[in-house]
Amino acid sequence: MNELTRISREPRGQVLSLSPRFGMPLGEPGPSMSPVKGVLSTLFTRKISILLIALMVEIGIGIAVFWLLAPTYESKARLHIDLDVAATPVMRTQNTFGSDLEKMTFFETVVQEIETPSLIQDVVRRLRLDETRKIGRIEWLMDQFKELKRAMGRLLEIESWQTPPDPFGASVSAVTDNLATSRLENSNILEIVYHAKDGAECTQTLQTVVDAYIRYRNDFVREKASSSARFLELEIERVLKELSALERQLLDALRREAMPLVRESMAPGSDGAATTIVGVLSNPAAIEQMMLRVLSMQEEVERLVADGKESHPSVALTRSLIDEYVKAVNKSPDVQQRIHALHREVQAKERALETLVATRETVLTMASEDFRRLNAITITERASDAGAPIGPKRTMAMISGLVLGLVLGIIYALVSEFADGTIKTPEDVRARLGLEHIISLKRT
């Protein structure tokens, strides 16, 4: 008798049971078991299964962390980006900075440029990673599977399975996947992190990426600046022509309108003949002098008329001069307005010319090998030594595996107990058979 022996007495519906679990004295009824004791009893009974499950989980995790997962190394580098210089478009001067949106956009542009496929491909070629890159055991197993698939494809003549291996493409994908770029919070520092299966390879690859990006950025800016410099030369030439034309218009206006030449002729008289040229400028002092001159000539005309010399030639000449002066005085506001407008145009063109010249100097600097002196992007920390591997965390993995194995074993034990339909307790007899329990006998 291993589990339970039933002796059925049909008339009375009674059962005689023998249970190895309770060890009750002969003739004593089996007591009911509390839920906690029932769970503990189940766990104790199935302790072997629990330990076996925990051991299998621990062995599986041990194989994964000690054999399947190769050590991973990490290297970091940092770049400082001077946004006031680096985010300034080529067609601006150094004193004209971009907006905050342009600066943030430039940061995102840098991140995308660092991870651009052409730059990564250049790094792979320089380091010959398609030949020297160390791969993990998972990737090695995948390569073996692909090789087996190719062999089966050749055997079964399935062309899609016969794709040749591409170590260069695999290296480019590996570098891209293991490269992460982020901006440090509230700073202009860009941190670049790279992971690899070999420490020396990790450091060398990251530093090559940083150097390749700075070289790529400088070449890009120099190329763009060279084309912009040619455009600026044409713009400067155009502005110079426009400025020269405006200056000529201003001089002509000053000679023709702001500096009218008034010939003041006096007929030969007792004091002799005299001829003078008076330059009148379009400014308040000159206007005042002209008005005083008009009053003086008016008094002279009145004096001559009072002396009975109204027919004297100087009277008609003086009156003619008065009319010219009055016209000049009345004309002066319009002249001033035109002169000021020309002055403003000349000044605007001069400012535009200064801006273009300053921009040309910046652009020529960017187009030359001296671009680095602008310090737009500088290396604050070169690729750090990879040092000890950062993963996998073997001790933590083994402890976690042990805990996970025990939890899975306990769950298995409880589920198995719940799903087991075997009659084990007096309560099972009453619940499942509808019979009355009489006694529990100890197994001998």
| C-alpha of 306 from chain center | 93
| 225, 325 contact by CB (below 8 A) | no
Sheet holding 179-183, edge to edge: 179-183, 189-196, 73-81, 377-381
CA distance 325 to 335: 14
On the CB side of 61, CA atoms within 13 Å amount to: 19
CA distance 252 to 346: 14
pTM value surpassing 0.85: no
Instruction: Report the pLDDT value the prediction gives residue 85, as an integer from 0 to 100.
Output: 61
| 189, 104 contact by CB (below 8 A) | no
Instruction: Report the pLDDT value the prediction gives residue 143, as an integer from 0 to 100.
Output: 92
The closest of 197, 202, 328 to 264, measured between CA atoms, is: 328
CA angle 285–290–293, rounded 5-degree value:
125
- Count Cβ atoms below 10 Å from residue 433 Cβ, excluding itself: 14
| 250, 357 contact by CB (below 8 A) | no
pLDDT tens for the chain, residues 1 to 444: 444 444 433 444 444 444 444 434 434 444 555 778 878 888 888 899 999 999 999 999 999 999 999 999 999 999 988 776 665 555 444 444 456 676 677 788 888 889 899 999 999 999 999 999 999 999 999 999 999 999 999 999 898 899 999 999 999 999 999 999 998 887 889 999 999 999 999 999 999 999 999 888 878 877 877 888 888 888 888 888 888 887 777 777 666 654 443 433 333 343 433 333 334 444 556 666 667 777 787 887 888 777 777 777 777 887 887 777 666 656 656 666 666 777 788 888 888 888 888 888 877 776 776 555 556 788 899 999 988 999 899 999 999 999 999 999 999 998 988 887 777 777 777 777 777 777 777 666
